[in-house]
Structure 1
């Protein structure tokens, strides 16, 4: 027979023979709040049909107009921006698409030439080089295209940040 008697249900006991600690009751009983909860007031009251009273705008209207003001001001064209010696207009947003199209065309031409050269090499003594060129030249072309894309996106992001900072500086009267 076992030396330890079974534990009665509903009473957990410590295996080391100590009494479990009982939680202490709170010192003060719960008191309901003095005033009932009232939701915050709207900055404007909507009229029937979901329209606002004349002359009032929603609270987010200023933020939207401020964000719309950050949009790029394309007053000068590509040549005007190229010969802007005061550097008030950035040429990068206008030229990045053209550069990417040119790079894509050049990489595609390189890939076609590499593929043809690999196919011709297949029928020579170094056929394995031709086979590797046929199998993997498209991967090399995609890697170069991705590198160019990432680089152009970095330039574009830097210009976008600069435009926004300049806009906010002009808005706040700093510049």
Structure 2
């Protein structure tokens, strides 16, 4: 952290940790979508003037079937960003090695 010459890169060390944190966030995101979807059935029944509507479980089922798509897109974007960062850093390291040889 205190390398002011920027000879060593911290991103390579933390890329795995960042991706694991992103996976946990994506999993919690999907879990929250599922809980919210099934929770909407309870809220809808509570405020329905006609009593239990019975058909509001569809939000929970939709969250189970399609709620994984936004977290999956999030993981793809995070993975692409990390791979771009790591590739850029490795290119910089290899270039500096070539310059040192000359």
TM-score interval for Structure 1 and Structure 2 normalised by the shorter chain:
0.7 to 0.9
CA–CA distance in structure 1, aligned partners of residues 99 and 73 of structure 2: 39
SS in 2 for 1:84: coil
Match of 1:148 among 78, 87, 93: 78
Structure 1 match to 2:51: none
Alignment of 1:11-160 (within 5 A): 82-123=1-42, 124=44, 127=56, 128-160=58-90
* More contact order relative to length (CA 8 Å, sep ≥ 6): 2
What RMSD over aligned residues (CA atoms) do the two structures have, in Å? 1.8
CA–CA distance in structure 2, aligned partners of residues 120 and 146 of structure 1: 28
CA–CA distance in structure 1, aligned partners of residues 86 and 7 of structure 2: 16
Structure 1 match to 2:48: none
SS in 1 for 2:67: helix
Structure 1 match to 2:98: 168
Q: Does structure 2 conserve the Cα–Cα contact (< 8 Å) formed by 1:119 and 1:130? A: yes
SS in 2 for 1:90: coil
TM-score using structure 2 length: 0.78
CA–CA distance in structure 1, aligned partners of residues 75 and 6 of structure 2: 29
CA deviation after TM superposition for structure 1 residue 121, in Å? 1.7
Give the helix-richer structure, 1 or 2: 2
TM-score using structure 1 length: 0.48
Structure 1 alignment gaps of length 5 or more: 1-81
Q: For structure 1, which segment, 130-139 or 144-153, has the greater mean C-alpha deviation from structure 2 after superposition?
A: 130-139
Pick the structure with greater CA Rg.
Answer: 1
SS in 2 for 1:132: helix
